[in-house]
Structure 1
Amino acid sequence: MALLRAFIRTARMARNTSPLAAGLPGDDEMLLDAPDERLAPALVAAGRGEYEVAAKLLATTREAAEWEDRDRYATRLAAFARSRPEWFALWRYAAPHDPDALLVKAELAVCQGWESPARAELLRQVAPLITTAAEADPRDPAPWRIALDHARGTNAPHTEFEELWAEAVRRSPHHYGCHVSALQYLSAAWYGSHRECFDFAERAAQDALPGSLVQALPVRAAFAYLTEESGRCAVPRERLDAAADLAIALSQEYAPADPWPAQVRNLLTYVLIRLERWEDALAELRRIGPYATSFPWDRISDDPLGQFLELRDGVRLEVAARTPFKLRRAQPPRPLSDHGEPAHPGDH
């Protein structure tokens, strides 16, 4: 009987895994941390040693108050400047008081400080750079997101964190990056607890605007809990499932293969895998399309794209193993509609 069960399981995998590949890009089509159509030209120009395209991009986001895009782009540009600093040095020399260059400079300094064994001391030294970036445009919440990251790295007390948080939300009450930084500070791995982390995430998600990525904060809290090694303060399974359900609903509001929610979708997939919700994980992998992101896979592997592809194959096998054996040829799943649901024959 054991041999028969093993044979049936293998037969199910062999028959069902191929159809389950429908809607999933091939391994060679996957992209890791792909920039969007606005950021890509700035990175290409920076690779040639030119800063003007990046400067114009950030100036546009500042003038249009596109704070979410501004924060993301500044983060990516700072990361690029760590490995290719020439273009950024030219920008700082040409426009030392440019609010956009000051923002990237503050982000870059904080990122570099985090890598040092003397992290807290080095981060305290770069505090004036954050202040200068914040003063360059008092409307901008991005320097306050950097300040929240800085507070976490310098062991700042809750009173200081609360002051920074108040400044951040005064500028942008629903800014996703600021919420993520605050959630990290309140996590059990830093200066809070799982309960405090979940409470903050759920309140923020409840108050979030329709379609806002802030609705994904509970699934970030779930990720923090699932990756906490100590296992202190057990979180009920119902709370974890509710966080995943909310993130699934959010993901369905965006078109499949949309790069904007890609990181949230990758994070959600990780949580669904940990919760062994295989069908939901496979559906989310289809919504991800070709957009893999380093986070969260770099938390468990030095090869985030390879880890993503390996787990994607594992999800397909798990779903295949649970699909009833049928004599007729298995039908591939219908493609997803623009809202992430299976498309019907009459859909156009």
Structure 2
Amino acid sequence: MALLRDWGPALEKWTTKVVPRVDKDQGDPAARRVRAAAKAADWATVRAELEARPESEDRTGLLWAVGDVAGVERWIVEVLEAEPESPLPRLVAGIRYLSWGWEARTSAFAKDVSREQFELFHSRLASAEKWLYEVAEREPGWISPWYALQVTGRGLQVEPDVARRRFEATVRRAPHHLGAHQQRLQHLCAKWSGSHEQMHAFARESAFGAPAGTLLGQLVATAHLEHWLALNPEEDFGYMRSPAVRASLREAADHSLRHPDFVRGPGWIQVYNTFAMAFSLADEDRSAQECFRALGGRVTEFPWYYLNGADPAKAFRQLRSSSA
């Protein structure tokens, strides 16, 4: 999967004095433009921005920016009627209904989600799947519909074989697609349908089975954070600070963001945020500060909301200070 230009040098001058701010678009100006166009129901601009980002350069980030905008579900219907043979409006509709479905469910634990919420959640995901499968049939080389089908599948709790085939369909088209691997890792978490052992094995196999310098090293850090999150308060920090976990994080960083071949293209900001949090919790202060310096004040919502539901920017600031 091709990467865009290196965005790092302009950010290196930032220091840890910069006030942290959540950047929903991860430094991608195209995401900001397409989000604004979606809010204005400006399909011509949305289409132009999406078509300017080919599938080979992973336009899923732009699609998510559109899908997160309230109201897209209304105006996209008119576009579908006007362009019945075009796959792109169907892709946008599928992504919007996917995001809209998760909005109905909320991020609450399943026990706290009402029956009505679950029914609406499943209904919207079913609509999303219909459109996504139509796109996959019309454009068999596209990555985005298969990646999105991984997300709908997790929400609809499809059979394990189905979930695995959707992941495989995505990585056949883009072997090192970070989002696809992130979704597969979530599916293998103990909190969904897997186990710590499955999750860690997948993370390591994916990260170290890929060439050095890819984004996939993040999977190792994410797996440790997921394991930490599942433990009791009496155990969690002991786990993160264990010699094995600390060595694992250093090894993954060396193979990924610390490697000379690592390119700061789409997704790099979240990778650095994930390692910053993991290194901080592991008491690897020097490594954590390397990540914080590279980020300046750029904060991604994931994984910082794992800290007791705290505001991501606040959690970022607190761990940045504690590791200084």
TM-score interval w.r.t. the shorter chain? 0.7 to 0.9
Distance 2:243 2:193 in 1: 25
Distance 2:249 2:85 in 1: 44
What's the CA shift for 1:96?
4.5
8 Å Cα contact 1:33-1:291 kept in structure 2: no
Indicate the structure (1 or 2) with the bigger Cα radius of gyration.
Answer: 1
Residues 297, 31 of structure 1: alpha-carbon distance in 2 compared, 3 angstrom cutoff: closer
What's the CA shift for 1:89?
5.3
Give the letter for the 1:251 counterpart. L
Aligned to 2:83: 95
State whether structure 2 residue 136 is matched by structure 1 residue 121.
no
What's the CA shift for 1:45?
3.2
State whether structure 2 residue 34 is matched by structure 1 residue 33.
no
Distance 1:254 1:24 in 2: 25
Alignment coverage as a number of residue pairs: 290
Distance 2:248 2:138 in 1: 38
What's the CA shift for 1:110?
1.7
What do residues 16-38 of structure 1 show as CA deviations (whole Å, max 9, x unaligned)? xxxxxx832421x7452244133
State whether structure 2 residue 66 is matched by structure 1 residue 77.
yes
What do residues 212-236 of structure 1 show as CA deviations (whole Å, max 9, x unaligned)? 212221111111111114579x799
What do residues 188-246 of structure 1 show as CA deviations (whole Å, max 9, x unaligned)? 111111110111111111221332212221111111111114579x7993442244214
Aligned to 1:240: 245
TM-score, length basis structure 1: 0.73
Q: What is the aligned counterpart of 1:105 among 82, 93, 98?
A: 93
Structure 2 SS opposite 1:251: coil
8 Å Cα contact 1:254-1:261 kept in structure 2: no
Aligned to 2:56: 66
8 Å Cα contact 2:215-2:268 kept in structure 1: yes
Q: What is the aligned counterpart of 1:210 among 204, 209, 212?
A: 212
Residues 159, 47 of structure 1: alpha-carbon distance in 2 compared, 3 angstrom cutoff: closer
Aligned to 1:222: 224
Distance 1:185 1:293 in 2: 21
Residues 36, 25 of structure 1: alpha-carbon distance in 2 compared, 3 angstrom cutoff: farther
What's the CA shift for 1:105?
1.5
State whether structure 2 residue 292 is matched by structure 1 residue 264.
no
TM-score, length basis structure 2: 0.78
Distance 1:192 1:126 in 2: 25
Aligned to 2:9: none
State whether structure 2 residue 317 is matched by structure 1 residue 309.
yes
Tell me the percent identity.
22
Q: What is the aligned counterpart of 1:175 among 177, 183, 187?
A: 177
Structure 2: which 5+ residue stretches go unaligned? 1-13, 106-116
Residues 85, 196 of structure 1: alpha-carbon distance in 2 compared, 3 angstrom cutoff: same
Distance 2:74 2:161 in 1: 39
Aligned to 1:133: 135
8 Å Cα contact 2:240-2:282 kept in structure 1: no
Structure 1: which 5+ residue stretches go unaligned? 1-21, 317-348
What's the CA shift for 1:151?
1.7
Structure 2 SS opposite 1:66: helix
8 Å Cα contact 1:219-1:271 kept in structure 2: yes
Give the letter for the 2:148 counterpart. I
Larger mean CA deviation between 257-266 and 159-168 belongs to 257-266
Any residues of structure 2 matched to 1:334-345 within 5 Å, and which? none
Give the CA RMSD over aligned residues.
Answer: 3.0
Larger mean CA deviation between 238-247 and 130-139 belongs to 238-247
Distance 1:246 1:260 in 2: 20
Give the letter for the 1:222 counterpart. H
8 Å Cα contact 1:144-1:168 kept in structure 2: yes
Structure 1 SS opposite 2:142: coil
Aligned to 1:189: 191
Give the letter for the 2:24 counterpart. D
Give the letter for the 2:314 counterpart. G
8 Å Cα contact 2:34-2:49 kept in structure 1: yes
Residues 184, 241 of structure 1: alpha-carbon distance in 2 compared, 3 angstrom cutoff: same
Any residues of structure 2 matched to 1:19-30 within 5 Å, and which? 23-27=15-19, 30=21
Larger mean CA deviation between 45-54 and 128-137 belongs to 45-54
Structure 1 SS opposite 2:29: coil
8 Å Cα contact 1:205-1:215 kept in structure 2: yes
Residues 125, 31 of structure 1: alpha-carbon distance in 2 compared, 3 angstrom cutoff: closer
8 Å Cα contact 1:183-1:197 kept in structure 2: yes
Aligned to 2:4: none
8 Å Cα contact 2:73-2:97 kept in structure 1: no
Distance 2:17 2:44 in 1: 35
Larger mean CA deviation between 199-208 and 90-99 belongs to 90-99
